[in-house]
């Protein structure tokens, strides 16, 4: 249900944010399901159980947010349990990221990406 209700990844990519799903299911099953549902979010297969355990996903699923700075990667946020149900639209995903919506209405440190509110909104097939 979560995968079927999240935003189109183009809206996140417009703010330099990537979304991907990770699952222990075999890739053949994932690919067949993605095709059936028309989903375009990348979906990867876990090998082993270390990833879920290392990132606190012991049951059901969770949302991990990572920030890449050159070759360094930092885990900046984690959410699981019923609270995950509130995430799905573009804005809720972006609010979980270190740079937020990247709009001038936010109180962000100097040098962080910011633009005018609503100026970046497009339909998912209209982004450059």
Q: Is the pLDDT of residue 53 over 80?
A: no
Choice between 51 and 45, residue whose per-residue pLDDT is larger: 45
Q: What is the pLDDT of residue 48?
A: 72
> Would strands 43-45 and 21-23 be described as parallel, antiparallel, or unpaired?
parallel
Q: What is the pLDDT of residue 116?
A: 94
Q: Is the pLDDT of residue 113 over 70?
A: yes
Q: What is the pLDDT of residue 21?
A: 92
Specify the range with the lowest mean pLDDT, choosing from 42-51, 65-74, 119-128: 42-51
Q: What is the pLDDT of residue 49?
A: 66
Average pLDDT rounded to a whole number, residues 25-51:
89
DSSP 3-state assignment of 35?
A: helix
CA distances to 8, 25, 92 from 31, rounded to whole Å, are 17, 10, 26
Average pLDDT rounded to a whole number, residues 23-46:
92
Q: Is the pLDDT of residue 54 over 90?
A: no
Q: Six-digit token pair at 93?
A: 């995903």
Residue 91 near residue 99 (C-beta atoms within 8 A): no
């Amino acid at each position: 249900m979560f995968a079927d209700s999240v935003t189109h990844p183009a809206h996140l990519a417009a703010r330099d944010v990537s979304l991907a799903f990770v699952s222990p299911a075999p890739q053949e099953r994932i690919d067949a399901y993605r095709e059936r549902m028309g989903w375009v979010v990348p979906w990867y297969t876990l090998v082993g159980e270390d990833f879920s355990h290392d990132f606190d996903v012991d049951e059901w699923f969770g949302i991990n947010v990572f920030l890449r700075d050159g070759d360094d990667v930092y885990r900046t946020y984690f959410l699981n349990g019923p609270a995950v149900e509130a995430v799905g639209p573009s804005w809720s995903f972006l609010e979980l990221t270190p740079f937020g919506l990247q709009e001038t209405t936010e109180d962000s440190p100097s040098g962080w990406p910011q633009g005018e509110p609503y100026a970046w909104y497009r339909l998912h097939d209209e982004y450059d």
